[in-house]
Chain A
Amino acid sequence: MRSEAQAEKGTSLWQDALHRLMKNRLAVVGACVLATMVALALATPWIVPYAYDAQDLELGASGPSRAHWFGTDRLGRDLLTRVLYGGRISLMVGFAATAVSLLVGVVYGATAGYLGGRTDAVMMRFVDILYALPFTIFVIILMVLFGRNIVLLFVAIGAVQWLTMARIVRGQVMSLKHTDFIDAARVMGFSTSRIILRHLIPNVLGPVIVYTTLTIPNVMLIEAFLSFLGLGVQAPMSSWGVLIKEGADAMEEYPWLLVFPSLALSATLFALNFLGDGLRDALDVRAAKD
């Protein structure tokens, strides 16, 4: 007889999903593009040829050349450098704000859904109230009151994005909490926190992951939009949104100033969307059965 050391390995649903994801070519390309972007953003300070605020006023705006691959802006700053630094900010906003929304939304939604009844009603009415606040005005007020601050930007965007996450998670939990395996866990005498953390959340992660990959581009777009309105990061720091705004202002004379930042942002958004779609197909448990 075999010993336990030789126990056959099972394939978890996660491994199954990963296997299906790897077969989706678009999603794999998306993941690669995203990974490249993240790697570039992380390595930016060591690979850029110029400082992001180094000006060359004599050169002024110049088109792509061997010295400046993406050209320079009116102040003679290297656009490649600025796009890379801008990517750092944009991606950081995207990931950090999404992480905030993920953490708050999942815990809040799972708690409301599992406890149900009056607690759930109160918690979800609070969400409804926040939903009703006009987001842009909310952010503008925050910016006016506390000044332009990148951390505040994370908080402001995250504070809005977690609402949808909480609703998604609550819905999932509501449909799961009356399934037999949750009842079985209660019969076993497990604590509420154990049931939520070990039994409920792992089973709602599929939709959460999918929604997360679609939230990141959303957040990046919001950041770009706020920057476009002049509410985003402060000069001389830049983000893709800031660069696109500047590029749009100078679009007719110096089109490369618009083209390169837009390409960087679009490529990242496409990559995230393809990955998100791929994950949705891969994690769909019903499709996995046939």
Chain B
Amino acid sequence: MSEYLLELKNLKTHFPVRVGTLFERTVGTVKAVDGVSLGVPEGEVLGLVGESGCGKSTLARTVLGLVPATSGTVLFEGRDLRTLLSHELRALRPRLQMVFQDPYASLNPRMTVFDTIAEPLAVHTTVSRRERAGRVGELMERVGLARRLMKKYPHEFSGGQRQRIAIARALALNPRLIIADEPVSALDVSVQAQILNLIAELSREMGLTLLLISHDLAVVKHLSHRIGVMYLGKIVELGDAEDVFHRPLHPYTQALIRAIPSTDPGRARPAGLLHGDPPSPMNPPSGCPFHPRCPVAAPECATTPQPLLDAEPTRQVACWKAKTP
């Protein structure tokens, strides 16, 4: 048994880009996830941040088997999910759950709240229908919804309430790991806070292991024990949340934090904004993928790939400058 509940070893998810319908040919490869290794110990909240297209959502979907991995291993409870047979994987599903970004899309509009939350119980457990009703009621109260609403349909709820339903559904089978992909970014600011509080409370009280994916550093920092920063399919920095946020070592992390608009109007925007857009993951730059936008890039950055190495006892950084400041 490994020391981690979830461990990824050199995980790669590449999508071939094909043209033509009858005579397909591959014209390129999108390297959405390109060699990610990390471990999540039981009970930890690990935040993954990055901009759109950095592969963070593909990473989540690969771990859950919604997208096939190209190579590497996904170890959950010490077993490699990629080698499991489909019925073995299905039996393991209850312990590995997901909360999606858009609560308008992630609930079946034709099913009541009761049916939505009770369905996993009906499929994976032998509890009777009456016990299920009790369990659904408990779960609803657990996530802050009144039990009497269980016969209602998703369209009768607001966005925040729907996200609560989706969380209750994920909790129904007592999972060990929940992957939350941008759980609050589709919600309004005042509602975000409610859902973030709920997630924090659940992870604390139920000892949940959580992989939290978001583009919003403030959200990730608030909830996570550790933060991983992704850029073009690779993790460029990984460390304790406070350290990464207040003392970023990788130039990309530094730029990301500087770019957050400050709500202190007296403060001028700091210099050192990045230029240009993130490159396409279809043809990532050679060497360190960040080098074309990097303010401190040296000539060798364009040629030498930067592996994720220990920079401090609890921090790994994929930049040679971080070790020789």
Contact = CB atoms under 8 A, between A and B. Distances in A.
Question: Do the two shown chains form a genuine complex with each other?
Answer: yes
B105 A191 contact: no
Residue in A4, A194, A199, A202 whose Cβ sees the most chain B Cβ within 10 Å: A4
B107 A181 contact: yes
Contacts of A1: 147
B180 to A, nearest CB: 12
Given A181-B106, A184-B100, A189-B93, A8 B152 contact: yes
Nearest to B105: A180
A99 B44 CA distance: 55
B102 interface: yes
A12 B110 contact: yes
A7 B151 contact: yes
Contacts of B134: 4
A4 B133 contact: yes
B148 interface: yes
Contact of A186 (B66, B107, B155): B66
Contacts of B61: 183
A7 B149 contact: yes
B153 A12 contact: yes
Contacts of A2: 147-148
Contact of A199 (B89, B108, B112): B108
Interface in A1-18: 1-2, 4, 6-14
Interface residues of B, number: 43
B108 A203 contact: yes
Given A181-B105, A184-B98, A10 B153 contact: yes
B101 A8 contact: no
A218 to B, nearest CB: 28
A196 B186 CA distance: 27
Contacts of B90: 189, 191
Contacts of B133: 4
Q: Chain A interface: which size bin?
A: 20 to 34
Nearest to A194: B123
A10 B64 contact: no
A113 B77 CA distance: 34
A10 B152 contact: yes
Contact of A203 (B110, B112, B151): B110
Interface in B104-148: 105-110, 112-113, 119-120, 123-124, 133-134, 137, 147-148
Contacts of A180: 100-102, 105-106
A187 interface: yes
B150 A7 contact: yes
Contacts of B109: 13, 181, 203, 285
B296 interface: no
B151 A183 contact: no
A194 B92 CA distance: 18
A181 B100 CA distance: 9
B97 interface: yes
A183 to B, nearest CB: 5
A9 B151 contact: yes
Given A10-B112, A11-B153, A188 B105 contact: no
Residue in A10, A14, A190 whose Cβ sees the most chain B Cβ within 10 Å: A10
A173 to B, nearest CB: 14
A186 B61 CA distance: 11
Contacts of B110: 12-14, 202-203
Contacts of B166: 184
Contacts of B113: 10
Given A6-B148, A12-B110, A189 B66 contact: no
A203 B119 CA distance: 17
Contacts of A65: none
A183 B100 contact: yes
B14 interface: no
A178 to B, nearest CB: 10
B268 interface: no
A13 B156 CA distance: 10
A181 B119 CA distance: 13
B151 A189 contact: no
B257 to A, nearest CB: 30
Contacts of B169: 184, 188
Contacts of A11: 153, 156
A200 to B, nearest CB: 10
Contacts of B108: 181, 185, 199, 202-203
B123 A10 contact: no
B289 interface: no
Nearest to A12: B153
B67 to A, nearest CB: 10
A181 B108 CA distance: 6
A10 B151 contact: yes
B117 to A, nearest CB: 11
28 contacts: A4-B133, A4-B150, A7-B148, A7-B149, A7-B150, A9-B151, A10-B151, A10-B153, A12-B153, A13-B110, A14-B110, A180-B105, A183-B98, A184-B100, A184-B107, A184-B169, A186-B66, A187-B97, A188-B93, A188-B124, A189-B90, A189-B93, A189-B120, A189-B123, A189-B124, A191-B90, A203-B110, A285-B109
Given A187-B97, A189-B92, A189-B93, 5 more contacts: A8-B151, A10-B113, A181-B106, A202-B110, A285-B109
Interface of A: 1-2, 4, 6-14, 179-181, 183-191, 194, 198-199, 202-203, 285
